[in-house]
Structures are given as structure tokens and as C-alpha cells.
Structure 1
Amino acid sequence: MTAHVAPPASSATNPAVVVSNLRRAYGARVVIDRLNLRIERGEFVALLGESGCGKTTLLRALAGLDPIQGGRIAAPRRPAVVFQEHRLLPWDSLWSNVSLGLQLPDARERAAAALAEVGLGDRLDDWPRNLSGGQAQRVALARALVQQPELLLLDEPFAALDALTRIRMHDLVRQLVANHRPGVLLVTHDVDEAIALADRILVMRDGAIAFEYREAGGSGSIERTVLLAELGVLVSHAAA
């Protein structure tokens, strides 16, 4: 797998999002500078980078939660976001949490179908306080996907889960993305998670996409070694 500087967005058929020359600053501190990014429908992209490099700032800009100072973000519809915390409303039932914002007569039925997809179809009238951490994140995923988004943004949604639950969530996310075909941007610090889930891995540095890795998906240790090196982690070949 070859690393190279990510090229500008190219022509395509049906992109979930196109970002051109994006700039985001906090006062005099520039966090994102002339960033270009394209994610196609059905494509799973993972974003790695050191803490403070601008990963979450980019995700928040794509979600419309933060203003930008320059450039352009072109997305067909408002994206869905799953955060590290599930952010469920404790006073609402699970189906009410999932259908939040759905102004449709069949909102309960849609919520029921979404909860069934994440393995909680028998818990419609249950409450968030009765859920484990993994179950709460399943509900958060159902709430995101019930909107049928063209772009799904994942901000370290599995970071607080134990190792076994995390593996199960990876399997679930793969299946959900295959079923719904949104473009996906996963912000993570976990190199192994990025390799396991993504079609394409990006490394962010100095406010821009510094390197791009294609054909991810757990094909071997070479990718892991290269990625760790790009993130500034020195790993011996034996340890890798």
C-alpha cells in the first residue's frame, strides 16, 4: 500500500460530501487550512491524526455545528452524527429517542425498524437508563440511520467501550453501512479500528490531509506499520 499526498477532489458520480479549500480558525490560530476532501456514497473513510490536529473540528464543520472562515462544503443533505457519548434523552423512551426530529405519521414504525436493525427491536418502550454502554451506542446509531443520511459522521463512537463490545460494534457498523450506503467519515485515534473498517484512511496534519491510504480493511501489518510511522510512533518490525 502506497502513501501519497491526497489529491484535490476529482470528478465523480454521486458524492456524499465535497470539501474545497476549507479554512477554520479560532482567533489567530488556524486549525484547518486549505483542506480538500471528497467522500462518495457508500465509501467508508477513517481520519487519523495527533490530538489537536483538527479532526473533530473538521467533523463539526461537516455537521454544520461550527462556522468556517473560507472554502466550501457541498453536501446533498444535512449529515447524521454519532458522538463518543450516546447523548440519548433520559426522559424519553428508546423509540422516541430514535425518532427525534422525524415529523412523520409513521415515526414509531420507522424507529421500530431502526432498532430492530441494531438488535434492540424488543426494547422500543424501554429507557436509556436500562442500557449498557454498547446498547446505548446501538440506539445512537439507529437514531442516525433512521434519517436515511447520505453522510454519516462518527466521532470516536466506540472509544469508551470494552474491547469485546467494540469488536461487535465494528461488525454492526459494517453491516449497517452496507445496508444503507451512506458516505462515512470516522474520526478515531485507533489505527487498528481504522484498518478494520475503512475503505480509505486519511492522516491529518497541520490542518490538512497529509497522506491517504487506499485499500484498507485489515489486509496486513504493513498498513499498520506505515500508519503508525505517519502518526509519529516508532515501531520495530518485530512489534508490528
Structure 2
Amino acid sequence: IVGTVLDIDGVSTSVLGTVNATIGGLGPNEDLEGNSPNYSKKEIIEKLGMDKLPTIVVEAMISSGFSKGLTENTYFVRGDEEDDNPYVVQSIINACESLKLPFKHHLTGMKRTKDALRINTKNVGEKIKTLGEVLAKAETSEDKVNIIAQLALVVSQDCGGISFMSNKLHEEIGGAGMIKKTSAVINLVVTEEYTKENPIPFLTEKELEEYVAITKETVKEMAKTVHAATKYILD
């Protein structure tokens, strides 16, 4: 976790970078995602004032269900109308329009939902349990191999969607780790065609420059409505 204050075109801007990891590299620990004020990160967040500042959360380049139908890699702007900050959402939209970059304003997906991750965790556990029970009764090598293949798929795909964050915390900060009313998210969603050639998306110099340009332009846009955006947080 690293944080500082930068001068972006005359606007003092708190900046935070987080690497989500677990000891041994077993997987991400996204309890520290976004601007979430947890554990030792809380001290840095509060020192930078980010628990009360309008914030852009910059997420990774991804392939997901959002990829369907895209004809070019596209930036997705997301923020729930109640749980997140509409002024930040609009600032990111204005920035993308100003830079003439392909983007979509995605209206759903950021809503905090009680028990959502807990229910998903239970469902994945039941799926593993069922496969385990079938495996326990398997007699032939073919059956065992097929069941283990299904189990491997669940562990490698489904489990990442439940292990990344604590259940209760997910209800407060959502999958992107956002303090309520402070933030909006942007990330680059790749096309299905891109994914066929690159199963794991990777940033090029061009896309890195775009991310930086969007962030800087968003900061300038947010400066225009910072008082209203901050009031929205504190009200």
C-alpha cells in the first residue's frame, strides 16, 4: 500500500495504490480493494483524507460478461446511484468524452446487496460438496477424471469469485472496495475477440497512457464540482 498527494494541473490530489495479495501467493485479498479503510490501510486512507474525498477507483483491464457485443476494447464507468458518488461518475464520463475514448456508462453492478457474497459462497460450497459426494462413489477411471475436471473448473473459476473478499465487508464496500457515497469505478473491458487471442488481458503502453490521461482529466473535471461532491459524501 502506497499513498501520497500529487499536484495534477494545480489540483492537490490524494493518490493511493494497493497490491492485493496473500502470503504464499494463493490468491487476492480484496478486503483492501479500492479506497476501503481496513486494517493498516485505514491509517493511510484517513491521513490522505480519502475517507471523505470524491474518489475515482481505477480497476484492471478485464475480460468479463461485459465483453459480449463489444466491437472494441471499451472503458466502463460504474457507480450505483445511491451507494456511490454521481458527481464522480459524471466527471469520468466527461473525461472520456473529452479524450474521445470509447466508453460505456454501466448503470448496474455496483449496488451493495445484503448476503450476496455469503449466498454465492454457499452455492459454490454446495457445488463442491455435490462433486465430492459423486467422486466418493465413482468406480471407473473415466468417471473419476471427469468429476475431477469439473471440480478443477469450480476451484479455478468459481472460487475466485467468492474467496476474494469477506462476506460482511462485501455488503459495505462492494466488489470494488468503495466507501459508500465517495466513488465511482472505471476499467477497460476487452472484446471477446481479444480474449480468444489473449486469455489473460495485459496493458500496453498505449492503454497505460489512456488510463493516466483519463485519471488526470477526471481530476480536472471533479475540481469543478468538488464542493457538491464532498457535500454529497458528508450529508
TM-score by length of 2: 0.24
Structure with larger RCO (C-alpha < 8 A, sep 6+): 2
Higher gyration radius (CA): 2
Greater fraction of residues in strand: 1
Greater fraction of residues in helix: 2
